[in-house]
Amino acid sequence: MIINVGIFSRFQFGWQILLQQAGVPFTIANSELSVSQYSALVVGDSIDDDVVQQIKRYLADGGAVLCSGEIFSRLSKSQGTVTFIRYLFEEDNSDFTGIGLVDVFTKCNLPRNANALRTNDGKRGAFLSEYRGGIIIALPFDAGKLVLDNRTVAKSFYAKGQRLPFERVSLISKGNLLRLVVRSLEILHHQRGLPFVHKWYFPEDSSTVFCWRIDTDYALQSEIEKLASLLQAEGIPATWFVHAKAQEKFFKIFNEMNNHEIGIHCYEHQTYKDYHRNIQNIRKVIEVFNRNGLRAASYAAPFGKWNDGIARAINECGFDYSSEFSYDYDNVPSYPLIDGIFSATLHVPIHPICIGSLRRQGFDESAMVEYFENVLKRKLSLKEPILLYHHPRDGNENVLKSIFNFVRNNGIKVQKMIEYSQWWKRRIESGIQIMFDHQILTLASSDAPSDVWLHLTKPDGTESFMPVQPRIDLQKLIWKSQSQPLPLPNDIHRIRKFNPRIPLNLTEDYLLKIFRR
């Protein structure tokens, strides 16, 4: 039996992004749909009728399929319900605990007899069951298509107080979408009596990683020096994205920073809609860096904005990675698709809410500490990267110290963003083929680095971590119960209700921009 996920989809690039993030072995499926060749299939919309018949035969032989509601309607010859879904969410103690709230904002096809997950209006949104001799999970959308949706919107983020912080981010919550896909594949493999095996998201068996990003927007020399001193005292290496126009007169300060990464934010603090102004803005910063003996391998766009113009400019400049929360946030890295081709620049998502976001909504220091403590606890429980950002002008050193104390007290691995991005690239490049037979995994790998480990789970809820080895006997591994993700807050749905502070603050920003001209 080969542990291998086959892709049957018109939107195969989207599925490649998701499966590469998941770290599972995958190939584009061919016409020979053998249950011994494919441990599971992912099937997207717009496939031919003959493929539908092949999938039926694969299921009849005991196969496992993750598909959309549209495909399930064609397989079952039963009409689903076509409706607009704002979001899906997990239920307590369900098979999908830990996926959170998945923003969809798309016309969907709810499978007939749906029995899993809930939509924003309380309806069942997915179908999970034995079917035609195999096992099937039907989601109300094609996940490979949805992950390619680059719409943006101002979203509220959960906090315990009455006011909610917000930021303009990716409309689709791609991190939660990934968790839904990974959990679905895990269920499918377990239902077939197979272990779920994938490359882990962090070096070796680390529970997560912590990266501290700083955008130097308009910061004074004294503000940067004060923050740098705090980081040195706390032993926290950081990634600084430099606003060159604001700091050009004292640029040498960045040359003197030891054990920090220095990246490019902008010259003019703007992200434009067109390619030409964006590339000019970036090249001007590169000139400043060159004059000061610095080379930047990373980029973060002002305001976290993402569009075709900035995407093309970033890719052309050859950065190792970039980080824009209007493309993705609260997720693991990926390579964006630009004009039908994967970018050469990796994208590293962060959490989009910073101290400045909280301060604007009237959060005092204790409320800020509580907010970030809840974010940190949830990310740790989800085994999600902890990538937070800050501005030197935002101050509130006690809030920073509380974050750093949490990281230390929980033994979380601290890295610069460039270190995590380079490790992630090594993870992607380490191809792995897996055979499974009588509790023995036989692996063939293309020079997997020693710090790229496998994460294995079994149907009984246990997990194990292992370096990549030619032969792994599952009976000789140490298996431990998986920790459970924190439950969603009871009032989580208010983050998708109308937030009057969003139009008010955006209007304030617009008027301020006019008066500054």
CATH number at residue 383: 3.20.20.370
The DSSP bridge partners found for residue 467 are 453
Looking at the structure, tell me whether residues 473 and 325 fall in a common domain. Answer: no
Residue 159 lies in a domain: no
Residue 93 lies in a domain: yes
The whole-angstrom separation of Cα 320 and Cα 139 is: 34
Looking at the structure, tell me whether residues 55 and 6 fall in a common domain. Answer: yes
- Between the CA of residue 509 and those of 157, 361, 499, what are the distances in Å? 19, 14, 16
Residues 6+ apart with CB under 8 A from 282: 264, 266, 267, 299, 313, 314, 317
Q: Are 70 and 138 in contact (CB under 8 A)?
A: no
Calculate the CA 476 to chain-centre distance: 33
Looking at the structure, tell me whether residues 271 and 395 fall in a common domain. Answer: yes
Q: Number of helices and strands (H, E) in the chain?
A: 15, 29
Looking at the structure, tell me whether residues 412 and 468 fall in a common domain. Answer: no
Angle at 67 between CA 63 and CA 73, to 5 degrees: 100
Q: Closest Cα to residue 443, out of 473, 470, 474? A: 470
Residues 6+ apart with CB under 8 A from 406: 372, 373, 376
H-helix segments, 126-243:
143-146, 174-191, 221-234
Looking at the structure, tell me whether residues 405 and 451 fall in a common domain. Answer: no
Q: Pick from 402, 422, 442: which residue ends a domain? A: 422
Looking at the structure, tell me whether residues 217 and 254 fall in a common domain. Answer: yes
pLDDT tens string, the chain, 517 residues long: the values are 999 999 988 889 999 999 999 999 999 998 788 999 999 999 999 888 888 999 999 999 999 999 999 999 999 988 889 999 999 999 888 899 999 999 999 999 999 999 999 999 999 999 999 988 999 999 999 999 999 999 999 999 999 988 999 999 999 999 999 999 999 999 999 999 999 999 999 999 999 999 999 999 999 999 999 999 999 999 999 999 999 999 999 999 999 998 999 999 999 999 999 999 999 999 999 999 999 999 999 999 999 999 999 999 999 999 999 999 999 999 999 999 999 999 999 999 999 999 999 999 999 999 999 999 999 999 999 999 999 999 999 999 999 999 999 999 999 999 999 999 999 999 999 989 999 999 999 999 877 899 999 999 999 999 999 999 999 999 999 999 998 899 999 999 999 999 999 998 888 777 766 665 4
Residue 391 lies in a domain: yes
CATH number at residue 435: 3.40.50.880
Looking at the structure, tell me whether residues 377 and 437 fall in a common domain. Answer: no
Q: Give the pair of three-digit tokens for residue 422.
A: 């380079």
Which residue's structure tokens are 């499966």? 19
- The whole-number pLDDT of residue 148 equals 97
Looking at the structure, tell me whether residues 65 and 126 fall in a common domain. Answer: yes
Looking at the structure, tell me whether residues 448 and 335 fall in a common domain. Answer: no
Three-state SS string over 23-34 comes to CCCEEECCCCCC
Q: Please count the structural domains in the chain.
A: 2
Looking at the structure, tell me whether residues 353 and 216 fall in a common domain. Answer: yes
Domain limits at 362?
209-422
Residue 32 lies in a domain: yes
Looking at the structure, tell me whether residues 334 and 451 fall in a common domain. Answer: no
Looking at the structure, tell me whether residues 138 and 213 fall in a common domain. Answer: no
Q: Pick from 391, 422, 453: which residue ends a domain? A: 422
Q: Pick from 422, 455, 482: which residue ends a domain? A: 422
